[in-house]
């Protein structure tokens, strides 16, 4: 008997949602509802220096305003640091991870791929050190993406050993997201293609933790007219909460959902109708696409 469908949307509270965020949330939501599954919301509040005060509550209000109501309680990663530390200690004890005191500047000088320097050094530990996962030689993570097709990621030559705890002591994204996908028994991860190259690392971590990998699907990211991804960093405009049905219709059209005959419906009814028309095959398989008509909020 197949495991129940559990999907999730995991925003970072560094600012309010924008059109690109809505597209990602909507794709995840519709895929879950079309499959009769549950849809969770997880707040990735693991980087306090970058977070905007009040953003987490604002994001939840934006989702609710657009009819994107989640199942169960919101999971806040900021309350789970002790659990991440426990997992990291287990990986260290098993010899699957090691301490690293290399600076970001050194990694950038290497072209972004770590060369394993601290793995070969003895006695690197203590304050000011990060922790890296030791990627096995020849590690190739292969998976079938719901939107991008067959993928093969050669971790040893593409990313090298990667950070699971930062030098400032904060858990790294790759570690926290993996631990919580396993904890919440997430079966399907539908998200933007900007995270496609993280997937192999997360699959490897799940294997090392003895957990099953979700099914992954990466939709195109929405861009501005210049081709830059809509993001909080490039000041993408926040979603206007009024009228939310206009935002939803633009996002649905962007995802290839036929809204004919769904005119005049409030968000809950519009989403219910859209879930019945959701087709993964209708989503454009490119990895980035302009958000036409979405930047006037």
- Indicate whether 61 and 120 sit together in one domain: no
Q: CA–CA separation, 255 vs 283, rounded Å?
A: 5
pLDDT of residue 104: 86
Contacts of residue 4, Cβ cutoff 8 Å, sequence gap at least 6: 37, 38, 187
What are residue 210's phi and psi, to 5 degrees?
Answer: 75, 25
- Show the domain range for 101: 81-175
Are 45 and 185 in a shared domain? yes
For 239, other C-beta atoms within 10 Å of its C-beta total: 22
Give 245-266 pLDDT, tens digit per residue: 889 999 999 999 998 988 889 9
- 135 and 264 co-located in one domain: no
Q: The domain spanning residue 50 has which CATH number?
A: 3.40.50.620
**How many whole angstroms separate alpha carbon 30 and alpha carbon 66?**
13
Q: Do 67 and 185 have their domain in common?
A: yes
Q: How far apart are CA 60 and CA 13, in angstroms?
A: 10
- Residue 192 is given by DSSP the state E
Counting as low any pLDDT under 70, the low residues of the chain are 1, 122-123, 224-238, 241-242, 286-297
pLDDT of residue 1: 67
Q: Judge contact between 32 and 25, C-beta under 8 A.
A: no
Kindly state whether residues 183 and 151 are assigned to the same domain. no
Please state whether beta strands 162-165 and 130-133 pair in parallel, antiparallel, or not at all (unpaired): antiparallel
Continuous H helices in 138-263: 155-158, 173-183, 199-208, 244-254
- Same domain for 124 and 55, yes or no, is no
For 194-223, how does the pLDDT look when each residue is reduced to its tens digit (9 = 90+)?
999 999 999 999 999 999 999 999 999 887
Same domain assignment for residues 99 and 244:
no
- pTM of the full predicted structure? 0.91
- Between CA 31 and CA 39, with CA 36 as vertex, the angle to 5 degrees is 60
User: Residue 295: inside a domain, yes or no?
Assistant: no
Peptide bond into 245 cis (omega under 30): no
Domain co-membership, 27 together with 141: no
């Amino acid at each position: 008997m197949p495991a129940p469908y559990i999907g999730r949307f995991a925003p970072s509270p560094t600012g309010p949602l924008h059109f690109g965020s809505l597209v990602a949330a909507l794709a995840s939501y519709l895929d879950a509802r079309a499959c009769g599954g549950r849809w969770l919301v997880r707040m990735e509040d693991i980087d306090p220096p970058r977070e905007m005060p009040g953003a987490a509550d604002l994001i939840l209000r934006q989702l609710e305003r657009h009819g994107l109501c989640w199942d169960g309680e919101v999971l806040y990663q900021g309350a789970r640091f002790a659990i991440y530390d426990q997992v990291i200690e287990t990986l260290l004890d098993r010899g699957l991870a090691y301490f690293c005191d290399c600076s970001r500047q050194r990694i950038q000088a290497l072209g972004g791929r770590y060369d394993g320097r601290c793995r070969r050094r003895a006695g690197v530990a203590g304050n000011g050190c990060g922790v890296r996962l030791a990627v096995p030689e020849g590690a190739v993570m292969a998976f079938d993406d719901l939107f991008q097709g067959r993928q093969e990621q050669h971790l040893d030559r593409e990313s090298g050993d990667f950070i699971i705890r930062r030098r400032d002591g904060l858990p790294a994204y790759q570690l926290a997201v993996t631990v919580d996908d396993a904890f919440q028994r997430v079966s399907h991860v539908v998200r933007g293609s900007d995270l496609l190259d993280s997937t192999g690392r997360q699959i490897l971590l799940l294997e090392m933790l003895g957990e099953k990998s979700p099914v992954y699907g990466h939709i195109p990211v929405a861009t501005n007219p210049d081709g830059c991804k809509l993001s909080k960093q490039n000041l993408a405009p926040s979603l206007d909460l009024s009228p939310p049905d206009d935002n939803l219709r633009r996002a649905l059209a962007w995802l290839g959902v036929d809204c004919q005959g769904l005119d005049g419906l409030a968000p809950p009814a519009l989403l219910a109708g859209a879930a019945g028309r959701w087709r993964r095959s209708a989503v454009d398989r490119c990895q980035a696409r302009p958000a036409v008509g979405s930047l006037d909020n």
